[in-house]
Homo-oligomer: A and B are copies of this chain.
Amino acid sequence: MSNVAKDRVRLWLRLLKVVRGLEQELRDTLRREHNTTLPRFDVMSALSRHPEGLKMSQLSGVLRVSNGNVTGIADRLSEEGLVERIPVPGDRRAMMLRLTPAGTAQFARQAQAHEDWINEKLRGISSEEARAMAARLQAFAAQTEEKEKANAQ
């Protein structure tokens, strides 16, 4: 294997390790301190950015998960009164999912705690470092997307 290939593999393994580690801690924190899960948090986060609600298929699109997955999470959040399904006028197949007032309030608290948690976890990283690394990741993602578009044609 070439040297650059080795360096890339090493980078990937480290990325995976760091992100998985943080994600695991985040799941623990959500469970212990907020009695929820990361997938539930992700759904509520997406809905909070669309106060008018999202169709089930839009939601699975932005979260990049399967339709059936969203159905289950929506069911459970719905049982707890945090989200509600609203029929879409003019299309009886579709359902709009949106946060209830209770869901909105709960998410606001969780989101603030989440930001504080991240800020604490990444305390050792300066603004400049954070921006530099984010820019690199952004460049990488943009480049990957371009490649996908090219392949799709």
Closest 4 CB pairs of A and B: A7-B130, A8-B122, A5-B119, A19-B19
The reply to whether B15 and A141 form a contact with Cβ atoms under 8 Å apart is no
Q: Would you call A152 an interface residue if the criterion is a C-beta within 8 Å of the partner chain's C-beta atoms? A: no
Mark interface residues in A40-64 (1 if CB within 8 Å of B CB, else 0).
0000000000000000000000001
Given A16-B23, A19-B16, A134-B10, A4-B126 contact (CB < 8 Å): yes
> Bound state CA distance, A2 and B126, in angstroms?
12
Measured as residues with beta carbon below 8 angstroms from the partner, the interface class of chain A is 35 or more
Given A18-B141, A21-B141, A64-B24, A134-B5 contact (CB < 8 Å): no
Interface residue ranges of A121-153 to B (CB < 8 Å): 121-122, 124-127, 129-131, 133-134, 136-141, 143-144
Q: Would you call A118 an interface residue if the criterion is a C-beta within 8 Å of the partner chain's C-beta atoms? A: yes
A-B contact pairs, 14 of them (CB 8 A): A4-B119, A7-B127, A7-B130, A8-B119, A8-B122, A10-B134, A12-B22, A12-B122, A15-B133, A17-B137, A18-B137, A18-B140, A19-B19, A21-B64
